Amino acid sequence: MVAAGLLLVFALAQAAANRQPDFFIYRLGAELGLRGESPYDIGRIRSHVAEQFPAQAEGPDSFVNNCGYFLPPMAVLVYAPFAVLLWPAAKVGWAIVSAVAALAITRIPGLFREPNEGLTRPRSPVWDQIVPFLMIVNFLTLAIVQVGQSTILVVGCVAAGQWCFERKRPALGVLLWSVAFIKPHVALPLIALAWYLGGWKRAAALLIAVAVLNLLAATLIGGTPLFLREYLDFLGSGHKAVAFNLVERNYEITSWNRLLFVATGRVIEQTAILTVASYAVWFGLIAARCAWAGFAPSAAWAAAAAATGAVWCPQVLAYEALMLVFVVPWLRELFDRGESFKAGRWRRLHALAVALLLAAQLVPFEIAMKAGIDFHRPLAVALLAVLVLAGPIRPRP
């Protein structure tokens, strides 16, 4: 509660200043969509952004010359409540929503339990207070708030949705998880996770909800569901119009191709097909790990695997590393001394290594650069992926 309150104060301070450019773009896209105009016109978006942020309009590498609206049509519905408000009021509303999402995030250490574990665990100052506080009050989340990115909302909705699933409220859980698909390349692992935790019906319901939301929004924007084609066509070339999205330009990218570029100088810019292929390889490795273990892994480990894949497989910026908070329930499991899980020095060392790699994502680039490192985030994600695949797994009851 304290962490969410502090984040609200910080978010309101950002609302009082002329900041949060990403939120401005998302709200602008929703505003255009509600008027029946395409938000995928980069020229129009940049014109509006230049008016709002004139100080960031100079030079080819400026924010204004490297921005655009890249969310799927359904995002217009998600951001519609802010689009109908004046900009000052919308920023305050966004601050409040971010704080509520942050409150949901603080509940993550207690989520992804098995049905026979019940809905409560013994109270622990570390997992109930210290860890949730650090998950919210850190450099990464504050940077997300400062630019107005959507990651806190996405992660908060997934956490709240899982809370609903564990309390037998599947319809609300599916609706909350569907919000995450405003970033579809990051949310894709949720389909597999939904299937694993709730069966094929939950996964199918999630896919249907996302499809319906996108079709409704496409009809609202373009007058026909076929407007989805414009979005899909835009995806093919849109991200290349932003220098910040290029793997050879942005040191904050966390995916495997950034680490490949650092190690070899080879440039591979991910397309939609390559992103799906990356996920296919990752989940193939996950399946092999489960087969080698000889049993179905715990829900906490499955959540950790899905979250790690969401940051490692698609070409995303550091903001999306907040998804790694879903590794925390598995980390808690690693520290658990329960009789059903093998104890020993190896497991404790593994848990410590996981914790350090999660903490590495919170280190600002400027600090890492003082040590001559400009790839600490993708390297930490790569090592975390290895630990997920090679680490101890508690069997699912």
Query: pLDDT of 248-297, one tens digit each?
Result: 878 888 999 999 998 898 988 888 899 999 999 999 999 999 999 888 89
Query: What SS3 class is residue 297?
Result: strand
**CB-CB contact of 83 with 30 (8 Å):** yes
Q: Which residue has the higher pLDDT, 208 or 370?
A: 208
Q: Is the pLDDT of residue 200 over 60?
A: yes
CA gap 124, 30 in Å, rounded: 42
Q: 216 with 77: CB under 8 angstroms?
A: yes
Residue type, 308: T
CB atoms within 10 A of CB 3: 21
**0.85 cut: is pTM over it?**
yes
Max CA distance (Å), the chain:
62
Report the Cα 28 to chain-centroid distance in Å.
21
Confidence tier at 339 by pLDDT (50, 70, 90) = very low
In this model, does residue 338 exceed pLDDT 60?
A: no
pLDDT band with cut points at 50, 70 and 90 for residue 117: low
pLDDT for res 241: 65
Asked if the model's pLDDT at residue 341 lies above 50, the reply is no
**DSSP tag of 127:** I
Residue 314: strand, helix, or coil:
coil
pLDDT at 340 exceeding the cut of 50: no
H or E segment and range at residue 96: helix 87-105
Instruction: Please say whether the beta carbons of 306 and 190 come within 8 A.
Output: yes
Closest CA to 193 of 354, 336, 308, 332: 308
